[in-house]
Copies of this chain bind each other. A is one copy, B any other.
Amino acid sequence: MTLRRTSRRLADGREIIYFDDAPDAPPRTAVDSRPLGERIPAGHIRRDVLTGEWVAIAGHRQTRTFMPPKDECPLCPTGRGSVPSEIPDRDYDVVVFENRFPSFAPVAQEGAGTAYGLFEHAPALGRCEVVCFTSDHDASFASLPPHRVRTVVDAWADRTAELGAMDSVQQVFCFENRGPEIGVTLHHPHGQIYAYPFVPARSSALLGRARAHHERTGRLLGADVLAAELEAGERVVVDGEHWTAYVPYAARWPVEVHLAPRRDVPDLVALDDAERDDLARVYLDVLGRLDRYYVDEDGEPRTLPYIAAWHQAPAKVGRDVSRLHLQVFSILRSPTKLKYLAGSESGAGAWVNDVLPERIAARLREVGA
């Protein structure tokens, strides 16, 4: 399969990149004719002095697009709706562009209130990108054909390599928020990429543990965890040629599944062709199971809201001990009830899971295609 990559600029200077896998795709030359004016800069970051974590302060995002009517969808190709969209061309396979309301961007504000001794701040440099998985407004990631998922994987890898090489970027995070229950403001199937100017808290925790394990054993923690899950067996959901999907031993969400490659790789960039193709197969298999996980009162499958989070090695540090994995999880704890992150989780940082991980795995095996 050949992939054609076309980089263009939107009216306010933001980059848009078309990833076309169809051999007959026309050249992507359409011009963005909207009167957008200057691009909107990102805000700044402040360090939470009590925890050491950086927080992005992005006041301008309060006005971002919220559930527009379908014929004004900014992620459909231009021409389908009543107004020009973020994608000037009349069609696309997969497209990535810089978010118009970014938390992190190449242009960011300096200001941060009065900073006294203890208080650290910096411009929110980095980049926030939107990844449109398909031009079909009513599709979902789970409904994509495998070759299109492969194109998405290639797009993620492309962005990880390019964003990770930027001086300001410490971590490239590819993710998908799916479903109104977790606050998704656009229905069109899409994911996002955040290129952070710091190593975020979870990445930092993963790195700390991976480094300690490597120092103690000389081995990769991620590899040892996969081996242990395969040996235990009871939480394995799909065991593909190059990828394994399993419910982690200490799952913290009511539905949670991890996908890990057989081979030690730090990030999506390092995956070879066979691994990328197998990822498409295993991931689609898992997403199909997730949409059959719950059934409503009438016995109909309940489309699952989820967050899919790619944990890659940080861009500049710890690359020798980090190991790629995907974490997919849902806040739905029954067909109708949400798990809320209340006092214990949001206040103390201690998760309570009302569902036994082995039960999650058994259900995911039960709803195989």
Residues of chain A whose beta carbon lies under 8 Å from any beta carbon of chain B = 46-59, 61-62, 66, 103, 113-114, 116-119, 171, 173, 175-177, 182-184, 192, 194, 196, 198, 200-206, 208-209, 221-222, 224-225, 228, 231-232, 234-235, 248-252, 307, 309, 327, 329, 333-334, 337-344, 346-359
Tallying the copies of this chain within the complex gives 2
| A208–B49 CA distance with the chains assembled, in angstroms | 11
| A343–B194 CA distance with the chains assembled, in angstroms | 10
The interface residues of chain B lying within 8 Å CB-to-CB of A339 are 183
Q: Which of A66, A341, A350 has the most CB of B within 10 A?
A: A350
A47 touches B116 (CB 8 A): no
Q: Which of A176, A183, A334, A354 has the most CB of B within 10 A?
A: A354
> How far is the CB of A336 from the nearest CB of chain B, in Å?
11
A248 touches B208 (CB 8 A): no
B52 touches A208 (CB 8 A): yes
B183 touches A338 (CB 8 A): yes
* Chain B, Cβ-Cβ closest to A341: B341
Contact of A50 among B59, B206, B333 (CB under 8 A): B206
| A347–B47 CA distance with the chains assembled, in angstroms | 19
In addition to A57-B250, A61-B354, A113-B358, 8 A-B residue pairs with Cβ atoms within 8 Å of each other are A50-B225, A51-B202, A52-B208, A57-B356, A59-B355, A116-B231, A173-B347, A194-B348
> How far is the CB of A67 from the nearest CB of chain B, in Å?
11
A359 touches B53 (CB 8 A): no
B349 touches A205 (CB 8 A): yes
| A288–B231 CA distance with the chains assembled, in angstroms | 56
* Chain B, Cβ-Cβ closest to A54: B350
| A19–B340 CA distance with the chains assembled, in angstroms | 30
* Chain B, Cβ-Cβ closest to A119: B249
The interface residues of chain B lying within 8 Å CB-to-CB of A351 are 53, 55-56
Contact A250/B353 with A342-B182, A342-B183, A348-B194 known, Cβ cut-off 8 Å: no
| A225–B47 CA distance with the chains assembled, in angstroms | 12
A-B contact pairs, 29 of them (CB 8 A): A49-B209, A49-B221, A49-B225, A51-B205, A52-B205, A52-B208, A53-B205, A53-B350, A54-B250, A54-B350, A55-B352, A56-B351, A58-B352, A59-B355, A59-B356, A61-B354, A113-B249, A113-B356, A113-B358, A177-B343, A182-B341, A183-B338, A194-B344, A200-B350, A202-B347, A202-B348, A327-B347, A329-B346, A341-B341
